[in-house]
């Protein structure tokens, strides 16, 4: 790390030969924005047990405190996604001012349609109209909260589904869902967006009402331009080509955001980039490639993880760095040569363009960006030396 300046100049010289401006890449890294989730700072666990951590945030104000530390140490995480009712407060104006005093702001608002006895047979798809109205009203409450906080996005994961064949009529569930979403959509103001998240299974195990990106795309298209698709990296069957999904949604103008995490088996919510960093790079390769072709993207880059074993703030810093590395590597892809080899059908050379970028050490660029942002070169080391973790352990006994 100490000699990164020399490594930066060498990398700059090497990439300049390919027509790649490292200084421009550094500026893009400085402008990168990553939203962290409030729920990752509090105690969470598996389906079997919660391993509590000393100092874990116990309420929304403490979650904001921890999120502000992540932004202070990275310079690229100025917003925090909130989950309702987990982060509910009686005074939203006061919470907004408190967040601002910490140098951050509330981000996407996430309704909860999966933790209520009434939702046993579904929320927005429930056969009981009374329960559907209850679920709709909760989302409308979240929209009003978003308006109070100046938040733009409503991130909506609909956990509805059935566990058994014949439990409910599939087409009727689709009709109920569309009707419910139309009612919700009407209450968005002009600057707001409804981000529809999909998941192929769990908690229901026979069918999920929004089970893949095609269903989310169909629903968002029917609703209108303020409805977009949200891609959670853990919400796919093993082997799914997520970068292809991303490319299609970009091309259709329907990619609204990401929930970044990683998985080994299913929706594991592991550290971003910890299992398949090449996949994360290939996803960013599609995003960067589209932007360099002139496509205007408006994508919310959000982390969604449950930090069950690692120290919560440290794991968040790991995730942010892994996202920065994937983005930087995508930015150094030699796209002029890549396009040439693609058109010539030179598969080996085209693939090598990507692997060369992926295998490049881009940390000197990230260090340079951090230096100019005025944040520590090593955020985790700085966190430990600050004794912030010891402080919250004492204060949050």
Of 248, 144, 142, 260, nearest in space to 197 by CA: 260
- Residue 144, pLDDT score: 98
Mean pLDDT across 116-125: 98
Q: What is the CATH number of the domain that holds 70?
A: 3.20.20.150
- How far apart, in whole angstroms, are the C-alpha atoms of residue 212 and residue 248? 13
- How far apart, in whole angstroms, are the C-alpha atoms of residue 30 and residue 370? 8
- Residue 44, pLDDT score: 81
Hey, is 375 helix, strand or coil?
Answer: coil
Q: What are phi and psi of 21, to 5 degrees?
A: -95, 105
In a domain, 37, yes or no: yes
Look at residue 199 and tell me whether its pLDDT is greater than 90.
Answer: yes
- How far apart, in whole angstroms, are the C-alpha atoms of residue 39 and residue 34? 15
Of 244, 375, 397, nearest in space to 320 by CA: 375
Express each pLDDT in 67-114 by its tens digit.
999 999 999 999 999 999 999 999 999 999 999 999 999 999 999 999
In a domain, 247, yes or no: yes
Look at residue 2 and tell me whether its pLDDT is greater than 70.
Answer: no
Inter-CA distances, 209 with 22, 121, 142, 219, 227, Å: 45, 12, 21, 11, 17
Which ranges constitute the DSSP H helices of the chain?
4-16, 22-31, 60-74, 92-101, 129-149, 170-185, 213-223, 242-251, 277-292, 312-331, 335-344, 347-358, 363-373, 379-386, 388-395
Look at residue 176 and tell me whether its pLDDT is greater than 80.
Answer: yes
In a domain, 202, yes or no: yes
- How far apart, in whole angstroms, are the C-alpha atoms of residue 88 and residue 148? 13
Give the chain's mean pLDDT.
Answer: 97
Q: Cα 296 from chain centroid?
A: 19
Query: What is the number of residues in the chain?
Result: 397
Look at residue 45 and tell me whether its pLDDT is greater than 90.
Answer: no
pTM score: 0.97
Residues 255 and 229: beta-carbon distance below 8 Å: yes
Express each pLDDT in 296-355 by its tens digit.
999 999 999 989 999 999 999 999 999 999 999 999 999 999 999 999 999 999 999 999
In a domain, 235, yes or no: yes
In a domain, 19, yes or no: no
Residue 242, exposed/middle/buried by CB under 10 A (0-12, 13-18, 19+)? buried
Express each pLDDT in 346-372 by its tens digit.
999 999 999 999 999 999 999 999 999
Express each pLDDT in 376-388 by its tens digit.
999 999 999 999 9
In a domain, 9, yes or no: no
DSSP state of 271: P
Beta-carbon count within 10 A of 389 CB: 19
Give the range of the structural domain holding residue 120, as residue numbers without chain letter: 32-333
Angle at 301 between CA 103 and CA 337, to 5 degrees: 125
In a domain, 347, yes or no: no
Structural domains counted in the chain: 1
DSSP of 173-191, one letter per residue? HHHHHHHHHHHHHTT--TT
In a domain, 40, yes or no: yes
DSSP of 96-137, one letter per residue? HHHHHHTT-EEEEEEE--SSSGGGGG-STT-S-HHHHHHHHH
Residues 303 and 260: beta-carbon distance below 8 Å: yes
- Residue 1, pLDDT score: 66
Express each pLDDT in 223-250 by its tens digit.
999 999 999 999 999 999 999 999 999 9
């Amino acid at each position: 790390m100490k000699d990164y300046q020399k490594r930066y100049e060498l990398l700059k010289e090497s990439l300049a030969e390919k027509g790649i401006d490292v200084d421009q890449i550094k500026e893009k890294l400085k402008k990168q924005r990553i939203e962290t989730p409030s729920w990752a700072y509090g105690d969470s666990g598996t389906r079997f047990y919660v391993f509590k951590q000393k100092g874990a945030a116990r309420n929304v104000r403490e979650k904001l405190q921890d999120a502000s530390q992540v932004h202070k140490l990275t310079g690229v995480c100025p917003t925090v996604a909130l989950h309702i009712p987990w982060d509910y407060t009686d005074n939203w104006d006061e919470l907004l001012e408190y967040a601002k005093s910490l140098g951050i702001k509330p981000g996407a608002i996430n309704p909860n349609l999966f933790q209520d006895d009434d939702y046993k047979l579904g929320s927005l798809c429930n056969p009981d109209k009374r329960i559907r109205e209850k679920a709709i009203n909760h989302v409308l409450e979240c929209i009003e909260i978003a308006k109070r906080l100046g938040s733009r996005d409503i991130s909506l994961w609909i956990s509805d589904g059935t566990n058994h064949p014949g439990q409910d009529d599939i087409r009727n569930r689709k009709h109920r869902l569309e009707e419910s979403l139309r009612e919700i959509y009407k209450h968005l103001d002009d600057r707001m967006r409804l981000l529809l998240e999909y998941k192929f299974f769990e908690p229901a195990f026979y069918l999920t009402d929004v089970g893949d990106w095609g269903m989310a795309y169909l629903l968002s298209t029917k609703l209108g331009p303020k409805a977009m698709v949200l891609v959670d990296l853990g919400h796919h069957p093993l082997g799914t080509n997520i970068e292809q999904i991303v490319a299609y949604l970009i091309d259709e103008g329907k990619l609204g955001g990401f929930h970044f995490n990683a998985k080994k088996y299913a929706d594991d919510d592991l550290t971003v980039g910890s299992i398949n960093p090449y996949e994360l790079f290939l996803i960013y390769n599609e995003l960067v490639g589209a932007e360099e072709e002139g496509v205007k993207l408006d994508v919310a880059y959000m982390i969604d993880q449950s930090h069950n074993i690692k120290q919560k703030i440290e794991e968040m810093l790991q995730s942010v760095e892994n996202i920065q590395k994937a983005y930087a590597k995508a930015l150094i892809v030699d796209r002029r040569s890549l396009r040439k080899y693609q058109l010539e059908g030179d598969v080996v050379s085209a693939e090598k363009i990507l692997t060369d970028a992926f295998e490049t050490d881009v940390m000197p660029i990230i260090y340079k960006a951090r230096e100019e942002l005025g944040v520590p070169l090593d955020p985790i080391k700085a966190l430990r030396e600050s004794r912030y973790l010891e402080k919250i352990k004492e204060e949050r006994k």
